[in-house]
Amino acid sequence: MSRIRADQLGVRFLFDRQRNVVSPALARLHRRGTAAWGLHDVTFSMEPGEGVALIGPSGSGKTTLLRIIAGVLSPDHGRIEIEGRVASLLSVEAGLLSVLTGRENALLLGVLAGLSRQRTRAVLDEIKSRSGLGGQFELPVSSYSQGMRARLGFAVADAVDPEILLLDEVHEALDHEFRDVVEERARRIIGEGGIVVAAGHDHPMLARLCSRAFLMSNGEISSIGDFTGLQRTYVGLGHQGAPVTR
Q: Are residues 245 and 169 in the same domain?
A: yes
CB atoms within 10 A of CB 133: 20
Tell me the mean pLDDT in the region 11-36. Answer: 57
Q: Is 202 helix (H, G, I), strand (E, B) or coil?
A: coil
Running DSSP on this structure, what letter comes out for residue 86?
E
Domain end call among 130, 160, 190: 160
Lowest-confidence region among 20-24, 107-111, 185-189: 20-24
pLDDT at 53 over 80: yes
pLDDT at 76 over 90: yes
Percent of the chain with pLDDT over 90: 49
pLDDT tens, residue by residue, 193-215: 999 999 986 678 888 999 999 99
Tell me the mean pLDDT in the region 40-61. Answer: 94
- Within-domain flag for 14: no
Q: Are residues 52 and 64 in the same domain?
A: yes
Distance CA(122)–CA(52), nearest Å, equals: 32
Contact 213, 230 (CB under 8 A): yes
pLDDT at 240 over 70: no
Q: How confident is the model at residue 241 (pLDDT cuts 50, 70, 90)?
A: very low
Q: Are residues 57 and 173 in the same domain?
A: yes
Range of the domain at 107: 97-160
Q: Are residues 109 and 137 in the same domain?
A: yes
pLDDT at 232 over 60: yes
Q: Are residues 230 and 108 in the same domain?
A: no
Distance CA(107)–CA(115), nearest Å, equals: 9
Q: Are residues 168 and 240 in the same domain?
A: yes
Would the CA dihedral through 139, 140, 145, 147 be positive or negative?
positive
- Within-domain flag for 129: yes
pLDDT at 24 over 70: no
pLDDT at 69 over 80: yes
Q: Which of 134, 62, 55 is nearest to 102 (CA)?
A: 134
pLDDT at 33 over 70: no
Please list, in sequence order, all residues whose beta carbon lies within 8 angstroms of the beta carbon of residue 114, skipping any fewer than 6 positions away: 85, 160
Tell me the mean pLDDT in the region 85-89. Answer: 86
**Domain tally, the chain:** 2
Q: Are residues 69 and 167 in the same domain?
A: yes
Q: Are residues 61 and 101 in the same domain?
A: no
Q: How confident is the model at residue 26 (pLDDT cuts 50, 70, 90)?
A: very low
pLDDT at 243 over 70: no
Distance CA(97)–CA(92), nearest Å, equals: 12
Q: How confident is the model at residue 154 (pLDDT cuts 50, 70, 90)?
A: confident
**Chain mean pLDDT for the chain:** 84
Q: Which residue has the higher pLDDT, 22 or 220?
A: 220
CB atoms within 10 A of CB 185: 17
Lowest-confidence region among 38-52, 132-146, 157-171, 232-246: 232-246
pLDDT at 18 over 60: no
Q: Which of 220, 246, 223 is nearest to 236 (CA)?
A: 223
Tell me the mean pLDDT in the region 166-170. Answer: 82
